[in-house]
Amino acid sequence: MIKLKQNQTRTYDVEGFKRRAACLCFKDETENEVLLVSSSRHPDQWIVPGGGMEPDEEPCGAAVREVYEEAGVKGKLGRLLGMFEQNQDRKHRTYVYTLIVTETLEDWEDSVNIGRKRKWFKIDEAIEELQSHKPVHAEYLLRLADSCGPFRVYTPSTDSCPCTRVAENGASHCFVCSTQGSDLVNR
């Protein structure tokens, strides 16, 4: 199947990694249930919604756009869980955020164009589902246990997104999008 999109431009960082963004979409602030979508290549497998960043697009904007296109949901963007690298088949770096779903569309772009499905999973069920075919996506959920706790909402005060910094050299830092203006908090 061909996935039709207006802008098919791929963007890469200076080290040759494809720039990607994704969201762990939760039913509510308890973060007990996560929304997964069927893979476009393997419709019987579930994945975390996300995809490539467009030129000049901030990671948080790309994450929200990809969730809307692939899962047909809108919500409140939360904290950045981290930046995840994959070096095996395809080199890419993915910024992963949390998102609390506030609106679910009946029909959305990928459901109409490619027949994509979505399903709510308990966290442990989602990890088990992802570990067999998308272990890096399972890592996103495993990172939840190490993240900074309660959900915080990112409220933009300008056109730029403050959620793009990540820990360097694998250091264990959590960057939270604060509800108090647009300051990024390092905890």
The closest alpha carbon to 139, from 89, 175, 85, belongs to 85
Residue span of the structural domain in which 136 resides: 18-148
pLDDT at 152 over 50: no
Q: What percent of the chain has pLDDT over 90?
A: 61
Residues known to be catalytic: 69
The closest alpha carbon to 185, from 140, 159, 150, 139, belongs to 150
Q: Is residue 162 in some structural domain? A: no
Entry pTM: 0.76
Q: How many CA atoms lie less than 13 Å away from 18 in the CB half-sphere? A: 17
Q: Is residue 155 in some structural domain? A: no
Q: Is residue 137 in some structural domain? A: yes
Query: What average pLDDT does the structure give for the chain?
Result: 78
Q: Is residue 180 in some structural domain? A: no
Angle at 95 between CA 68 and CA 54, to 5 degrees: 60
Domain count, the chain: 1
CATH assignment at residue 140: 3.90.79.10
Tens of pLDDT along 171-186? 333 333 322 222 222 2
pLDDT in the model for residue 172: 31
Tens of pLDDT along 1-38? 223 345 567 899 888 899 999 999 999 999 999 999 99
Q: Is residue 168 in some structural domain? A: no
Question: Phi, psi (5° rounding) for residue 119?
Answer: -155, 140
Q: Is residue 23 in some structural domain? A: yes
Tens of pLDDT along 61-87? 999 999 999 999 999 999 999 999 877
Tokens of 134: 């998308």
